[in-house]
A and B are shown apart, each in its own frame.
Chain A
Amino acid sequence: MHKVVIPIGPQHPALKEPESFSVTLSGERIMKFSARLGYNHRGIEKACEERTYIQDVYLTERICGICSHAHSTCFVQAVEELASLDVPKRALYIRTVVSELERIHSHLLWLGVAGHEVGFDTLLMYSWRDREAVMDILAMLTGNRVNYGINTIGGVRRDISTDQAKQILKAMDTLEERTKYYIQIATQESTLIQRLSGVGVLSHKDALKLGAVGPTGRASGVDRDVRRDDPYAAYGELDFKVITDNHNDVYGRTLVRMGELLEAYKIIRQALEKMPEGPITIKAPRKIPAGEAISRYEAPRGEDVHYVKSNGTEKPERVKVRAPTLANIQTVAKMLEDRQLADLPIVIAAIDPCFSCTDRMTSIKRAGEKRKVLAWEDLRAYSIKWYCEHGIDFTMLNRKMARKF
């Protein structure tokens, strides 16, 4: 059959954030799939170098809207390690509670988006209605529904009163009942099961080879979770299970995320019960001593790694962010081999892509090469030459546009 190349993105109703995929189709079967990243690059790592550490806490929070607390906590943990600060226990527990609340809201959002991608809008409306309970709790605790701003270097900025703790526990009970209903729907609604199972298969070997992290990897049996393997905040003192599954497909990923929701309710109840009294912050110096630190964090999408290098001044020298979606995006090409076009949106949605987190700069320096600086006109001429060499000629289009205007 005749082969067609269709572009999915950068703007497409299936994608919540811009990214460019080019799919070669033969009828409805996918022959080849390739991705081009970089549409959400904003220069955050460079911007971090020009702001002080306390300003960077808010900048790293805005790398992503859904996993904002993940990036901010990961950064703050690295800086606290460089400054050798002894963060009070109560602050660590409050950070844990907000982390798990963020995990709950992210997984409920994912459930709605997965329902929308397979045409099941009712699941979208219902799960996002229940998600409002978590958003209201977060607004009450931290002051905002997204971008909480609760971290500061040396602790947290706001405390949890007993009244607020009671409201959190009440919301946990309601949400647990609703989550059990969604698990029932996901495992027993036959049209949904037909769309989710057998789709996006990633074997255990491939998951290890391609480096899948988070629920994507755990649904293929890769038993890795930073909260258990390398405990941070208060996770070392809490008791929880790591959910893995053997289905290796989108259905397995759904079950893993639903299971993580139930574990999150357990963790929050334990943390609120065991929370020690004490101060919520310790005074941090403005100038952080020189050194380098790596900190890891289990974001709702997988393992998030931050690297911070300081040089004794108020501003960091280098900040590098490795988001979980960068590790997971390599697996999409493998999952879509020999599948149909109709599976593409749900497979991309199943790795829970967050391209805002992913698009950072990687500079590859080959031996003996020097760096060049290009001005705007040179860059434009270079790009026109590059496209001509690859067979795309813009002169006709330029003439047509010049005629119209």
Chain B
Amino acid sequence: MIGIFYLLVFPGFLFLSAFGLAAEFLDRKLYARLQNRIGPPWFQPLADFIKLASKEEIIPDEANPTIFKLMPVLAITATVTSFFYIPSWSQKALFSFSGDLIVVLYLLTIPTLSFFLGGWYSTSLYSKIGAVRALTQLFAYEVPLLMSLLAPALLADTWSLSEMAVFYSVHPWYLLFNLLGFAISMIALLGKLEKVPFDIPEAETEIVAGTFTEYSGRLLGLFRLGIDIEAVVGASLLAAIYMPFGLGIGPVLGFPLFLLKVTAIIAMLSLSRTIFARLRIDQMVRFCWKYLAPLAFLQLLISLTMKGFLVR
């Protein structure tokens, strides 16, 4: 019974949806203010969702209807599930076991897969190109992201997110060895969330809307909600791995601290959206493999050497 409450209300679907919509408002308002404009009012993302949910769903004749309708649900499910393993406002996540870091990382690649499948089975030319671009981008940013997220785990000598949080609460100064990994994973997170400069799969001026070209109505609303939740979950994963301070001060003070950390990360993502232009797919792949991957490798080396010296 309590499991249903966790799943649906807190910290499950309802809480994450509300938080995702609030994060989208923050992102759009900050984006507008940085561009010297006024920006949308606070209820805009909710109004957009309600408007989309009330419109007609049009499924193309040649598309596969089962997969077409399944993909948005799959994206939301995967991201909501992965949130349960991330220690957000206490040292122990809701459910934890040894190796849950790897499970969370795998669960977070499922949304990208759902973009690819949804676009491919839409059979429209623009969505096929967008789907292929989403996969190509996955091959570029995934390796640096994984390497930089695993480096702190190496230092803590465990594969469980909750045990990592306990380790870093005991030795808070070891955070400083992970700063390079923080920078790399912020850049790679831009690729995962498909934000400028890496929003190539959804380039509006080149391929209309990429994967989402044929989606309309309730399904498009669910897809956009899935993207918002993915942003929040990705930000909280980064906060849990790289900013694990203050996790032991109890739930009353820990919850606002968690909100603050996620807000800071989303603000930095908004800032990067404002000051960069969009890259081409070949430029992005070259950038990730030429600069990001070696730097992530360097971070791994730092973690290994520090582990040799310190944890003795």
Q: Are A and B direct contacts in the complex by CB distance below 8 Å?
A: yes
Is there contact, CB below 8 Å, between B197 and A119? yes
Check: B200 CB closer than 8 A to any chain A CB.
yes
Check: B125 CB closer than 8 A to any chain A CB.
yes
List residues of chain B with CB within 8 A of the CB of A129: 36
Which of A25, A119, A192 is B196 in contact with, Cβ under 8 Å? A119
Which of B204, B206, B279, B281 is A194 in contact with, Cβ under 8 Å? B279
- Measured between alpha carbons, how far is A125 from B36 in the docked complex, in Å? 8
Is there contact, CB below 8 Å, between A345 and B205? yes
Check: A385 CB closer than 8 A to any chain B CB.
no
Nearest residue, chain B, Cβ from A113:
B205
- Measured between alpha carbons, how far is A82 from B279 in the docked complex, in Å? 53
Check: A28 CB closer than 8 A to any chain B CB.
yes
List residues of chain B with CB within 8 A of the CB of A117: 205
User: With A119-B196, A121-B35, A126-B36 given, is the CB distance from A13 to B205 under 8 Å?
Assistant: yes
Chain B residues numbered 201-256 whose CB sits less than 8 Å from any CB in chain A: 203-208
Nearest residue, chain A, Cβ from B136:
A28
Q: Render B260-285 as a binary contact track against A, CB cut-off 8 A, 1 for contact.
A: 00000000000000111111111100
Is there contact, CB below 8 Å, between B276 and A191? yes
Chain A residues numbered 129-185 whose CB sits less than 8 Å from any CB in chain B: 129
Check: A343 CB closer than 8 A to any chain B CB.
yes
Is there contact, CB below 8 Å, between B280 and A340? yes
In the assembled complex, how far is the CB of residue A7 from the closest CB belonging to chain B, in whole angstroms? 8
Which of A120, A122, A189, A341 is B129 in contact with, Cβ under 8 Å? A341
- Measured between alpha carbons, how far is A120 from B278 in the docked complex, in Å? 7
Chain A residues numbered 313-342 whose CB sits less than 8 Å from any CB in chain B: 340-342
Is there contact, CB below 8 Å, between B125 and A4? yes
In the assembled complex, how far is the CB of residue B268 from the closest CB belonging to chain A, in whole angstroms? 16
Most buried by B among A28, A195, A342: A342
- Measured between alpha carbons, how far is A229 from B275 in the docked complex, in Å? 41
In the assembled complex, how far is the CB of residue B210 from the closest CB belonging to chain A, in whole angstroms? 11
User: With A13-B204, A14-B205, A342-B200 given, is the CB distance from A125 to B277 under 8 Å?
Assistant: no
User: With A6-B125, A125-B37, A342-B206 given, is the CB distance from A118 to B277 under 8 Å?
Assistant: yes
Is there contact, CB below 8 Å, between B279 and A122? no
- Measured between alpha carbons, how far is A252 from B275 in the docked complex, in Å? 22
Check: B25 CB closer than 8 A to any chain A CB.
no
List residues of chain B with CB within 8 A of the CB of A12: 208
User: With A122-B274, A126-B36, A342-B200 given, is the CB distance from A194 to B205 under 8 Å?
Assistant: no
Check: B199 CB closer than 8 A to any chain A CB.
yes
List residues of chain B with CB within 8 A of the CB of A122: 34-35, 274-275
List residues of chain B with CB within 8 A of the CB of A302: none
Is there contact, CB below 8 Å, between A195 and B277? yes
Check: A116 CB closer than 8 A to any chain B CB.
yes
Check: B126 CB closer than 8 A to any chain A CB.
yes
Which of A13, A120, A126, A340 is B282 in contact with, Cβ under 8 Å? A340
User: With A119-B197, A120-B276 given, is the CB distance from A341 to B206 under 8 Å?
Assistant: yes
- Measured between alpha carbons, how far is A342 from B37 in the docked complex, in Å? 29
Check: A97 CB closer than 8 A to any chain B CB.
no
List residues of chain A with CB within 8 A of the CB of B36: 125-126, 129
Is there contact, CB below 8 Å, between B282 and A115? no
Check: A344 CB closer than 8 A to any chain B CB.
yes
List residues of chain B with CB within 8 A of the CB of A341: 129, 206-207
List residues of chain A with CB within 8 A of the CB of B207: 341
Nearest residue, chain A, Cβ from B124:
A6
Which of B37, B126, B206, B274 is A344 in contact with, Cβ under 8 Å? B206
- Measured between alpha carbons, how far is A115 from B277 in the docked complex, in Å? 8
Is there contact, CB below 8 Å, between A342 and B281? yes
Most buried by A among B34, B37, B279: B279
Q: Render A1-44 as a binary contact track against B, CB cut-off 8 A, 1 for contact.
A: 00010100000111000000000010010000000000000000
Nearest residue, chain B, Cβ from A189:
B277
Q: A129-B36, A194-B280 are in contact. List 9 more A-B contacts (CB 8 A).
A: A6-B126, A6-B129, A13-B208, A28-B129, A119-B277, A120-B276, A126-B35, A126-B36, A344-B206
Q: List 25 A-B contacts (CB under 8 A).
A: A4-B128, A6-B126, A13-B204, A13-B208, A28-B281, A115-B277, A119-B197, A119-B199, A119-B205, A120-B276, A122-B35, A122-B275, A123-B277, A126-B35, A126-B36, A192-B277, A194-B277, A195-B278, A195-B280, A340-B280, A341-B129, A341-B207, A343-B280, A344-B206, A345-B205
Give me the interface of B with A, judged by CB distance under 8 Å.
34-37, 125-126, 128-129, 196-197, 199-200, 203-208, 274-283
CB-based closest 5 A-B pairs:
A119-B278, A120-B277, A125-B35, A191-B277, A14-B205
Give me the interface of A with B, judged by CB distance under 8 Å.
4, 6, 12-14, 25, 28, 115-123, 125-126, 129, 189, 191-192, 194-195, 340-345
